[in-house]
């Protein structure tokens, strides 16, 4: 079973990349998703795209959910017998810890894809805001996407690539828009070992909400705008699937960059996850019609 781990900070473009990758593939593939919040969203995003997805509960697959990761992989093998297993850890999981868990599960060759956001990588890296996370992600990657270059200054993209190449000269680096690469993904890990860069633990607050059917789309847009502006705390990531009065929609926010788009399938259970620090969950709840905290 070929295995690919797709790592990256919250909102870097992991889910988007996996969608592009699998739409180009004819292999029998299962995606194992570990969302950070209590209400999983990415699994339904994949399912709407016709991709077989299995979700792990909130938590970190490289520490608290390590045993769950191993047993889930065993279940996937027995149930689906995939040719290709793609693992999307949460945006706070260190790749070295995930690789150690896969080694314990008896998974053979693994390709690691790291995705960084060109709009915020340099600032976060230079400020050392997330400890060893970025180093762990980069030194353990075989392929690295410097993503969102259409939103970043050209100088920032060039400097980001230079930092990455200095940390991991062996990695194949792509500059991407919407996490898209053309052609097959390079498989290059071979016998290269795991580089233990030290596990970084993040102390983020997480609040999750159920979103009722018929919620005004304008309300969701305004809420996402307020979240981006810091009205409810320092938001690192927010995402939602909402059955709005304009139909099912997907909402995303990462480090101040937000987007919304129609969702391809009906949404039975609308939900929203907000991740950050100093979050005012009660104020967010008050601004959603009849929203229930989960």
Provide long-range contacts, Cβ within 8 A and 24+ apart, for 254-259.
254/10, 254/11, 254/12, 254/117, 255/11, 255/117, 255/119, 255/120, 256/228, 257/11, 257/119, 257/148, 257/151, 257/228, 258/224, 258/225, 258/227, 258/228
- Do 84 and 144 lie in one domain? The reply is yes
Question: Higher confidence at residue 288 or residue 4?
Answer: 4
In a shared domain, residues 126 and 170:
yes
Average pLDDT of the chain is 85
Q: Is the pLDDT of residue 40 over 90?
A: no
Report, as an integer, the average pLDDT of 91-119: 85
For residues 258 and 129, state if they share a domain. no
**Is 183 contained in some domain?**
no
**Strand pairing partners for 228?**
none
pLDDT higher than 80, residue 130: no
Residue 109, in any domain of the structure: yes
Q: Is 113 a member of any domain?
A: yes
Q: What is the pLDDT of residue 290?
A: 65
- CATH number assigned to the domain comprising residue 239: 3.30.1220.10
pLDDT at position 108 is: 76
CA separation for the pair 162, 288 (Å, rounded): 43
Distance CA 138, CA 165 (A): 9
Q: Is residue 99 part of a domain?
A: yes
Q: What's the mean pLDDT in 96-125?
A: 87
Do 93 and 22 belong together in one domain? yes
Residue 140 DSSP SS3:
coil
- Domain membership flag for residue 186: no
- Domain CATH for 34: 3.40.50.300
Is position 199 within any domain?
A: no
User: Is 2's pLDDT higher than 70?
Assistant: yes
Confidence of residue 123 (pLDDT cuts 50, 70, 90): confident
Q: Could you give the angle at the alpha carbon of 170 between the alpha carbons of 167 and 172, nearest 5°?
A: 100
Task: Show the CA angle centred on residue 142, arms to residues 136 and 148, nearest 5°.
Answer: 80
What pLDDT was estimated at residue 46? 83
When pLDDT is cut at 50, 70 and 90, the band that residue 155 belongs to is very high
The predicted pLDDT at position 38 comes to 58
Read off φ and ψ for residue 101, nearest 5 degrees: -65, -40
Same domain (yes/no): 102, 223: no
pLDDT in tens, 233-289: 999 889 999 999 999 999 999 878 899 999 989 998 899 999 889 999 999 988 887
Give the end of a domain, one of 127, 158, 175. 175
Do 162 and 19 reside in the same domain of the chain? yes
Burial of 90 (0-12, 13-18, 19+ CB in 10 A): buried
196 in a structural domain: no
In this prediction, residue 127 has a pLDDT band, given cuts at 50, 70 and 90, of confident
**Residue 84: inside a domain:** yes
pTM of the model: 0.80
**Contact at 8 Å (CB) between 1 and 136?**
no
* 263 and 170 inside one domain: no
More confident residue, 125 or 225: 225
Strand 110-117 relative to strand 2-8, pairing: parallel
Mean pLDDT comparison of 26-30, 136-140, 160-164, highest-scoring range: 160-164
Domain count of the chain? 2
Tell me if 6 sits within 8 A of 14, measured CB to CB. Answer: yes
Q: Do residues 168 and 197 touch, judged by C-beta distance below 8 A?
A: no
- Percent of the chain scoring above 70 in pLDDT: 87
Kindly calculate the radius of gyration of the chain based on its CA atoms and give it in whole angstroms: 18
Cα separation, 10 vs 236, in Å, equals 7
Q: Are residues 55 and 105 in the same domain?
A: yes
Residues 21 and 85 in one domain: yes
Pair (160, 219) in one structural domain: no
The reply to whether 114 and 220 lie within a common domain is: no
Residues spanned by the domain of 166: 2-175
Whether 153 and 211 map to the same domain: the answer is: no
């Amino acid at each position: 079973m070929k295995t690919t781990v797709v790592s990256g900070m919250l909102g870097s473009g992991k889910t988007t990349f996996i969608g592009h990758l699998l739409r180009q593939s004819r292999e029998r593939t299962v995606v194992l998703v570990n969302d950070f919040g209590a209400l999983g969203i990415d699994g339904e995003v994949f399912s709407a795209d016709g991709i077989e997805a299995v979700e792990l509960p909130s938590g970190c697959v490289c520490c608290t959910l390590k045993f769950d990761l191993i047993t889930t992989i065993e279940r996937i093998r027995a149930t689906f017998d995939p040719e290709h297993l793609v693992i999307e850890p949460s945006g706070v999981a260190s790749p070295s810890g995930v690789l150690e868990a896969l080694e314990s599960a008896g998974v053979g060759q693994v390709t690691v894809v790291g995705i960084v956001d060109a709009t915020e990588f340099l600032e976060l890296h230079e400020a050392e805001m997330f400890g060893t996370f970025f180093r762990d992600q980069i030194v353990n990657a075989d392929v690295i996407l410097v993503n969102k270059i259409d939103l970043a200054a050209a100088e920032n993209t060039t400097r980001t690539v230079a930092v990455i190449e200095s940390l991991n000269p062996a990695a194949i680096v792509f500059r991407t828009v919407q996490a898209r690469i053309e052609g097959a993904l390079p498989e290059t890990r071979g016998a290269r070992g795991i580089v233990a860069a030290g596990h970084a633990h993040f102390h983020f607050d997480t609040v999750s909400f159920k979103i009722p059917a018929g919620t005004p789309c304008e309300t969701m847009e305004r809420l996402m705008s307020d979240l981006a502006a810091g009205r409810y705390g320092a938001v690192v990531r927010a995402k939602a699937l909402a059955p709005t009065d304009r139909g099912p929609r997907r909402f995303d926010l990462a480090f101040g960059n937000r987007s919304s788009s129609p969702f391809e399938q009906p949404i039975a259970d609308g939900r929203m996850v907000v991740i950050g620090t100093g979050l005012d969950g009660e104020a967010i709840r008050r601004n959603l019609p009849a929203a229930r905290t989960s």
